[in-house]
Structure 1
Amino acid sequence: MHFITGGAFNGKREWVKKTYGLTDSWISAYQETALPSDLIQVDSDLLVLEGVELWIKELTKTNDSFRCREIWKQTIHYWLTWEQENNQRTLVVIGTDITKGIVPVEGENRLWRDVTGWAYQDLAAQANKIDIIWYGCNQTIKQTGEWNR
């Protein structure tokens, strides 16, 4: 799994398109697509999941932080299972970093920010590669020997 993060409007989507090429298998929370857990229908060796922070926000609307983390870890497990079923598959996960700056006053926004930070830590722990994109430029902060792309 390749996890890509960075600030809003910093070129993450364009960087992924340039790095991986265009793909028909692009699922985006920005198009109001629900959190995908079952990837059986995906018929591609490359899958991009974009807008992780919005899927997490939806989780925080109906769950406490503990339950959000349970759901999130199970979702990551499903995603990795899909990727590992075929060694040609690559999963690319894009999430905007909302964890910096002033801590929100509203409790629901603090919960969203906190859960997003924990979720990104969970993604980072499982990812074989992590890139941060700032102003269209990448910085690789993790790459394991298992990375084959």
Structure 2
Amino acid sequence: MHFITGGAFNGKRGWVKKTYGDTALWISAYQETPLPTDIFQIDCDLLVLEGIESWVKDLTKTNDSYRCREIWNQTINQWWMWEQEKPERKLVVIGTDISKGIVPVDREDRVWRDITGWAYQDLAARADKLDIIWYGCNQTIKKVEE
């Protein structure tokens, strides 16, 4: 699993397309697609999931912090198992970094920011590669050698 993060409008999508090509199946939270929890129904070799922070925000609307993290970890475990099911599969997960800047005034936005930070930590721990994209340039901060 390859986790890509970075600031909004910093070129994450373009970098992924340049790195992996245009053959991937893209599922985007930005197109109102729900969090893919039943990923085993998807049959492709390269899957890109985009907009993690939006899916996390949806979780915070109906669940407390602990339940959000529980659901999130169950979801990334399924994603990891999907990728491991076939050796040719690759899962690329893109999430915008919302941890920088001013702390939100609204409680709901602070909770969302906190849970997103935890979700990214959990995802980074499970990912075999982690890149940060700033201004279209990547910095690899984790790479597990196979």
User: Which bin holds the TM-score, normalised by the shorter protein?
Assistant: over 0.9
Are positions 1:48 and 2:48 aligned together?
yes
CA distance in 1, matches of 2:41, 2:79: 12
Letter in 1 for 2:82: W
TM-score, scaled relative to structure 1: 0.96
Please report how far the alpha carbon of residue 23 of structure 1 lies from its aligned counterpart in structure 2 after TM superposition: 2.6
Partner of 1:109: 109
Secondary structure in 1 aligned to 2:95?
strand
CA separation in 2, counterparts of 1:23 and 1:116?
28
Amino acid at match of 2:117: G
How many residues are paired up?
Answer: 146
Q: Secondary structure at the match of 1:40?
A: helix
Aligned-pair identity (%): 75
Query: Aligned in 2, Cα 1:142/1:24: closer, same or farther, shift over 3 Å?
Result: closer
Does residue 36 of the first structure (1) align with residue 36 of the second (2)? Answer: yes
Q: Which runs of 5+ in 2 are unaligned?
A: none
**In 2: Cα distance, 1:126 partner to 1:88 partner:** 18
Tell me the CA shift for residue 13 of structure 1.
0.2
CA deviations 1:109-139 (Å, max 9, x no partner) are 0000000000000000000000000000000
Give unmatched runs, 5+ long, in structure 1.
none
- TM-score, normalised relative to structure 2: 0.98
| 1:103 partner letter | V
**Deviation of 1:42 (Å):** 1.6
Deviation at 1:40, TM superposition (A): 2.1
Which residues in structure 2 correspond to 1:46-125 (within 5 Å)?
A: 46-125=46-125
1:8 and 1:126 map into 2 onto residues whose CA distance is: 23
RMSD: 0.7
Partner deviation per Cα, 1:84-112 (whole Å, 9 max, x = no partner) = 00111100000000011111110000000
